[in-house]
Amino acid sequence: MMDKKQQRLIANFYSALDENISNELSFEQKKSIERAVIATGLGSNNNVDIRKSVSFFNKRYFFVFLLGRDYRNKMRSESPLALFFMTLLTCFGVVALFGLAVVILYLIKSALGIDIFHNFSFGIWDWFKEVMQIS
């Protein structure tokens, strides 16, 4: 049994299909097409679905932002090597973002003149002032 979203998807599909072709299809063909349309996910069942397009210098550009659970069936298994590199890349990204956040917080602390350890500095604030030519 199809839910309302799937029924709308099938109805939209048949409304876009030529009426003569739709009338020539057998019951089995229609059921097979409906299963294929639902399985390929031509409809969006995502929690967040933002699709926008903008004109820029006489050309149209689009962006799509989708957020939701992946309901697709896995057609092939992912290789362990690809999974390892994806994990490594994710860990590297998390560590890099954490390090960047620490440096930014340290620069803010130094700009406010807060001294945690008396007469001790990592030299990052002095280097930053030199690069930015701040006196």
Q: Is residue 130 part of a domain?
A: yes
Q: Is residue 1 part of a domain?
A: no
Q: Is residue 25 part of a domain?
A: no
Q: Is residue 59 part of a domain?
A: no
Q: Is residue 110 part of a domain?
A: yes
Q: Is residue 28 part of a domain?
A: no
Taking alpha carbons only, the member of 12, 52, 58 closest to residue 34 is: 12
Domain residues for the domain of 135 are 79-135
Share of the chain above pLDDT 90, in %: 19
What's residue 45's pLDDT? 64
Q: Which phi and psi angles does 64 have, rounded to 5°?
A: -130, 130
What average pLDDT score do residues 63-80 get? 77
Higher pLDDT, 90 or 72: 90
Strand partners, 61: 54
What's residue 98's pLDDT? 98
Write out the two tokens for 94: 């998390």
State how far the Cα of 1 lies from the Cα of 73, in Å rounded to an integer. 19
State how far the Cα of 106 lies from the Cα of 99, in Å rounded to an integer. 10
DSSP 72: P
Q: What is the pLDDT of residues 76-99, one digit of tens each?
A: 677 888 889 999 999 999 999 999
* Global confidence as pTM: 0.42
Question: Residue 34 CA to chain centroid, in angstroms?
Answer: 28
Q: Is residue 106 part of a domain?
A: yes
What's residue 85's pLDDT? 93
Write out the two tokens for 93: 């990204």
What average pLDDT score do residues 48-60 get? 85
Q: What is the pLDDT of residues 14-39, one digit of tens each?
A: 888 888 888 888 889 888 888 887 77
Q: Is residue 2 part of a domain?
A: no
State how far the Cα of 110 lies from the Cα of 122, in Å rounded to an integer. 11
State how far the Cα of 81 lies from the Cα of 125, in Å rounded to an integer. 41
Number of domains the chain contains: 1
